[in-house]
Amino acid sequence: MPHWRTLGAVSLTALLISCVPLPPRHVRPPRPTARTGGCALATSWSTPYATAHPLGTLAPGELRVLAYRISVTPEAGHRCGSLILTKHLTLLRGPGPLHIVEVRDFYRRGRLVAEHRGFVGRDIPASGVYRGQLTLPIPPSAPFGRYRVVSLLYARWAKGPPLLIARTQTRFAIAP
């Protein structure tokens, strides 16, 4: 009789295991996309900054940008494709609440064609070297030609006025 109990327990365990769905393997979570004219475009415009390595601090209320640059790779893209925008920021700052806003404007033939404003202060809590990347989608209706990206950083301590602390630009093209 004991082997019947063992056989019943094994059968019941096998039945329960077969009813539990297994997690999918190698499935990445989907990125938010927008369908525009037959191509799927990533919709995120924000750039999370990551600290490469920390630096020393300044006195409270002081801020100094040592370097700020952006680059786009590849230098030319196609409609329904994407480009990678990489930003490098090195700054020294004092302790305290600092609000940093990034203004990113896109120009074609001297005319503003797109803009983005984003609060990046959360990602830059202390002095350091920071790097951020984001994917720039190219919509199917984007005109061919050369574009210029201008990025401005504004900072404001507590209740003080916003000050322009850094400015940089780069160029890219949309090829036929």
For the stretch 52-67, pLDDT in tens is 667 788 888 889 999 9
Q: Is the residue at 99 inside a domain?
A: yes
What's the rounded Cα separation, in Å, for the pair 162 and 139? 33
pLDDT at 157: 86
Q: Is the residue at 95 inside a domain?
A: yes
Asked if residue 170 lies in contact with residue 149, where contact means CB atoms within 8 angstroms, the answer is: yes
The residue-averaged pLDDT of 102-125 equals 93
What DSSP assignment string belongs to 5-48? HHHHHHHHHHHHHHHSPPPPSS-PPPPPEEEETTEEEE------
Domains in the chain: how many in total?
1
Sign (positive/negative) of CA torsion 82, 142, 70, 132? negative
Q: Is the residue at 97 inside a domain?
A: yes
Q: Categorize the per-residue pLDDT at 45 as very low, low, confident or very high, splitting at 50, 70 and 90.
A: low
**DSSP type of residue 144:** S
> What angle (nearest 5°) sits at the alpha carbon of residue 123, between those of residues 164 and 30?
120
Residue 140 lies in domain: 29-174
Q: Is the residue at 141 inside a domain?
A: yes
What's the rounded Cα separation, in Å, for the pair 167 and 150? 7
Q: Categorize the per-residue pLDDT at 160 as very low, low, confident or very high, splitting at 50, 70 and 90.
A: confident
pLDDT at 41: 54
More confident residue, 25 or 99: 99
Q: Is the residue at 15 inside a domain?
A: no
In this prediction, what percent of the chain has a pLDDT beyond 70? Answer: 70
For the stretch 83-111, pLDDT in tens is 999 999 999 998 888 899 999 999 999 99
CATH number for position 157: 2.60.40.1930
The residue-averaged pLDDT of 38-51 equals 60
Q: Is the residue at 93 inside a domain?
A: yes
